[in-house]
Structure 1
Amino acid sequence: MTVHAQTPNPVISQADQVDAYLRDKMTKTRMPGMQLAVVKDGQIVLSRHYGTASVEFGVPVEDDTVFAINSITKAFTGVAAMRLVEEGKLDIGKPVGSYLADLPETWRGVTIRQLLSHMSGLPDVMGAPTVETDAKAAWTWVQTRPVRFAPGERFDYCQTNYTLVQQVINQIEGRPLDAPLATAQISVANMKHTAYGDTYDVIPRRAPTYRWTSPSQSQSWTEAATVLRATSERFLPFRRASSGLNSTASDMAHWIISLQSGKILSKESLASLWTPATFNNGDKGQWSTGWQIQQRGTHRAVGMTGGGRAAFAIYPDDGVAVVILTNLTGTFPEDFIDKVAAIYAPDLPLSGIAALRIALDQRGYHHASMVAAELDAKDPGTRWPELEMNDWGYRLMATNRRTEALAIFQLNATKHPDSSNAEDSLAHAYLVNDNNAAAITHYRRALVLDPGNTSAQRNLAKLLQGPNAPHS
Structure 2
Amino acid sequence: MRRLFKTVEIGLLLFAVSFSKQMIAQNTTDSIDLFIKQKMVQSNIPCLQLAIVRNGKIDKLKNYGFASLEHQVVTSSGTTFSINSMTKAFVGVAIMQLQEQGKLNIKGPISTYIDDIPNEWKSIRIDQLLSNTSGLPNNIDEKEQVLGDGDENRNWEMVRKLPMEFSPGDKFSYNQTGYYILGKVITKLSGQHFTKFIEENQFRPCGMVSTRFGDSNDVIPHIQTRIPRFTMMAESGSMTVSCIMPMPLFLCFSELQPGLFRHPKAWRNGLLHFKAKDC
8 Å contact kept, 2:202–2:263: yes
CA distance in 2, matches of 1:235, 1:116: 22
Partner SS for 2:123: coil
1:246 Cα offset (Å): 1.1
Partner SS for 2:133: coil
CA distance in 2, matches of 1:189, 1:16: 33
Name 1:61's counterpart in structure 2. Answer: 75
Name 1:259's counterpart in structure 2. Answer: 267
Name 1:85's counterpart in structure 2. Answer: 99
1:68 Cα offset (Å): 0.9
Name 1:197's counterpart in structure 2. Answer: 214
Name 1:31's counterpart in structure 2. Answer: 45
Structure 1 spans left out of the alignment, 5+ residues: 1-8, 212-229, 274-472
Stretches of 4+ aligned residues off by more than 6 angstroms: none
* Aligned partner (choices 113, 130, 133) of residue 148 of structure 2: 130
Name 1:208's counterpart in structure 2. Answer: 225
Deviates more, 1:66-75 or 1:195-204: 195-204
Q: List per-residue Cα deviations over 1:83-136 (Å, max 9, x = no partner).
A: 11222222111110111122211101000000111111111122464141x211
Q: List per-residue Cα deviations over 1:203-235 (Å, max 9, x = no partner).
A: 111111239xxxxxxxxxxxxxxxxxx966113
CA distance in 2, matches of 1:83, 1:167: 15
CA distance in 2, matches of 1:114, 1:102: 18
Equivalent residue runs for 1:68-467 within 5 Å: 68-127=82-141, 129-132=147-150, 134-176=151-193, 179=195, 181-183=197-199, 184-210=201-227, 233-236=246-249, 240=250, 244-250=251-257, 251-266=259-274, 268-269=275-276
CA distance in 2, matches of 1:131, 1:83: 33
Larger Rg: 2
Partner SS for 2:207: coil
CA distance in 2, matches of 1:246, 1:66: 6
1:50 Cα offset (Å): 1.0
* Aligned partner (choices 20, 24, 29) of residue 15 of structure 1: 29
1:181 Cα offset (Å): 4.7
Deviates more, 1:202-211 or 1:145-154: 202-211
Q: List per-residue Cα deviations over 1:226-255 (Å, max 9, x = no partner).
A: xxxx9661133xxx3xxx111122221122
Partner SS for 1:53: strand
Partner SS for 2:52: strand
CA distance in 1, matches of 2:113, 2:278: 21
Q: Normalised by the size of structure 2, how large is the TM-score? A: 0.77
CA distance in 2, matches of 1:182, 1:39: 25
**RMSD value, Cα:** 2.3
Q: List per-residue Cα deviations over 1:148-202 (Å, max 9, x = no partner).
A: 11100011222110111111111110124x6555212111121122111233101
Q: What's the % identity of the aligned pairs?
A: 33
8 Å contact kept, 1:43–1:257: no
Name the aligned partner's letter for residue 45 of structure 1. D
Partner SS for 1:45: strand
8 Å contact kept, 1:39–1:253: no
Name the aligned partner's letter for residue 235 of structure 1. P
Q: Normalised by the size of structure 1, how large is the TM-score? A: 0.47
